[in-house]
């Protein structure tokens, strides 16, 4: 094989191999999030983590919200400033924990307002998404039943 042919072959391997390698690692994070049907749940809110069970209407609202927001979820790319303002733990009809949501509403970090983390119960898969105020409003209603002072932008 001549030097030209070897250089050309090496160039093609580099040009084609690099994207293949990148996509091999990136593709698992780009799969759509599959939300299970939830039957019950609990919510912890605020710095003192006040806990209560979700009502049937709230669980129904969450199931509807999940069906409307399947896309756009990405891997966690930055370290969050806190553990979130609220944590929602969701269970299936057999009582098995199927999903954890962490919500940022402005109690602890204003620049993370309207951000949701979706986490598998074992903590292996974490996806995040920032929503508009309108899209986030149903989730904010869950949290706003407790009155807490919101933080301002830094």
What tokens were used for 15?
Answer: 């040009």
What is the structure's pLDDT at 34? 81
Bridge partners of 128? Answer: 74, 117
pTM: 0.74
What is the structure's pLDDT at 110? 61
Give the mean model confidence (pLDDT) for residues 77-104.
86
Question: What is the strand order of the sheet 40-45 is part of?
Answer: 50-53, 40-45, 86-91, 97-104, 115-119, 126-130, 74-75
More confident residue, 105 or 29: 105
List the single range of 17-21, 37-41, 46-50, 123-127 with lowest mean pLDDT.
46-50
Mean pLDDT of all residues in the chain?
84
100: nearest Cα among 114, 115, 127, 119: 119
Q: Look up tokens 């309108």; give the residue.
A: 134
Give the mean model confidence (pLDDT) for residues 19-42.
84
């Amino acid at each position: 094989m001549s030097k030209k042919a070897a250089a050309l072959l090496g160039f093609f391997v580099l040009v084609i191999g690099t994207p293949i390698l990148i996509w091999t690692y990136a593709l698992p994070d780009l799969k759509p999030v599959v939300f299970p049907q939830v039957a019950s749940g609990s919510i912890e809110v605020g710095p003192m983590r006040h806990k209560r069970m979700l009502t049937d209407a709230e669980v129904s609202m969450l199931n509807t919200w999940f069906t409307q927001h399947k896309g756009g979820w990405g891997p966690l790319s930055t370290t969050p400033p806190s553990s979130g303002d609220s944590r929602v733990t969701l269970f299936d009809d057999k009582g098995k924990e199927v999903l954890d949501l962490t919500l940022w509403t402005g109690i602890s970090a204003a620049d993370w307002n309207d951000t949701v983390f979706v986490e598998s119960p074992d903590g292996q898969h974490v996806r995040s998404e920032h929503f508009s105020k309108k899209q986030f409003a149903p989730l904010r209603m869950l949290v706003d039943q407790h009155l807490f002072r919101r933080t301002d932008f830094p």
